Amino acid sequence: MQNDNTSSLVQKGVMLPLMEEFYTIQGEGYHTGTSAYFIRIGGCDVGCHWCDVKESWDPDKHPPTQIGAIIENATKYSNTIVITGGEPLTWDMTLLTEGLKANGLTIHIETSGAYDMTGVWDWICLSPKKIKLPKPEIYPRVDELKVIIYNKSDFKFAEEQAERVSTDCELFLQPEWSVKEKMTPQIVDYVMKHPKWRISLQTHKFLNIP
């Protein structure tokens, strides 16, 4: 339980509920195989039933952390920072991203887009969710659209989402991990028939790294 002062600092983005931070290899999407420092911010109420980071949902389970400390840690490891969650846009990302930028770092976000866009970003990866659609303003800014394929109806959803992003946006279909044996062959077939898409696999899980 946070006191009022801490709660106010979190609302302003001066502190953020930090779930974990780690230096690893980006396992998914356009930057697969490249090293990056991940900052995982707690808090998400989108509620995907297949979510693989459900422990991120409740922000009160993650310590409110001064962004200065987060930035200081990040500068030690990599020039590329990936901010993920949870849903990082639950919070105001302005101060954190400005602080990272001031240190010359390149900043990526992985988001469902369900909340107002705050912060300064070099790369926006949108992973839209049917149950809480992205805010319309995010679509023209998206560099990478990554749609999770859990069942066949997700291909239709992916096409609907692809119509909303810019023409130079990178398009990825990624099997949801628990159904990957069933859905990966269908994605392979789909990409061969619709080559504007690429397949994204969660290679970090195959490599057994975070």
Query: Which residues lie near ligand SF4 (CB under 6 A)?
Result: 44, 46-48, 51, 53, 56, 85-87, 112, 129
CA atoms of 120 and 147, how far apart (whole Å): 23
User: What is the closest distance, in whole angstroms, from the C-beta atom of residue 103 to ligand SF4 in the complex?
Assistant: 27
Closest distance to ligand SF4 from the beta carbon of 50 (Å): 7
User: Within 10 Å of residue 79's Cβ, how many Cβ atoms?
Assistant: 13
The residue (of 87 and 170) whose beta carbon lies closer to ligand SF4 is: 87
What are the C-alpha distances in Å from 154 to residues 70, 199, 210? 36, 14, 26
**Nearest one of 116, 112, 127, 105 to 29, comparing CA atoms:** 127
Cα 163 to Cα 6, 28, 106: the distances in Å are 41, 22, 28
Between residues 70 and 125, which has the closer beta carbon with respect to ligand SF4?
125
Q: For residue 155, is it left (φ>0), alpha (ψ between -120 and 50) or beta?
A: alpha
Which tokens is 79 given? 């020039």
How near is the Cβ of 75 to ligand SF4 at its closest, in Å?
A: 26
Q: Which residue from 158, 118, 108 is spatially nearest to 138, judged by alpha carbons? A: 118
Minimum distance of ligand SF4 from residue 57's CB (angstroms): 7
User: What is the pairing mode between strands 15-25 and 35-41?
Assistant: antiparallel
Min dist. Cβ of residue 127 to ligand SF4 (A): 7
Q: Pick between residue 56 and residue 65 the one whose CB is nearest to ligand SF4.
A: 56
CB 181 to ligand SF4: min, Å: 20
In the complex with ligand SF4, which residue's Cβ is closer, 77 or 177? 177
Q: Which is nearer to ligand SF4, 25 or 51 (CB)?
A: 51
Nearer Cβ to ligand SF4, position 84 or 97?
A: 84
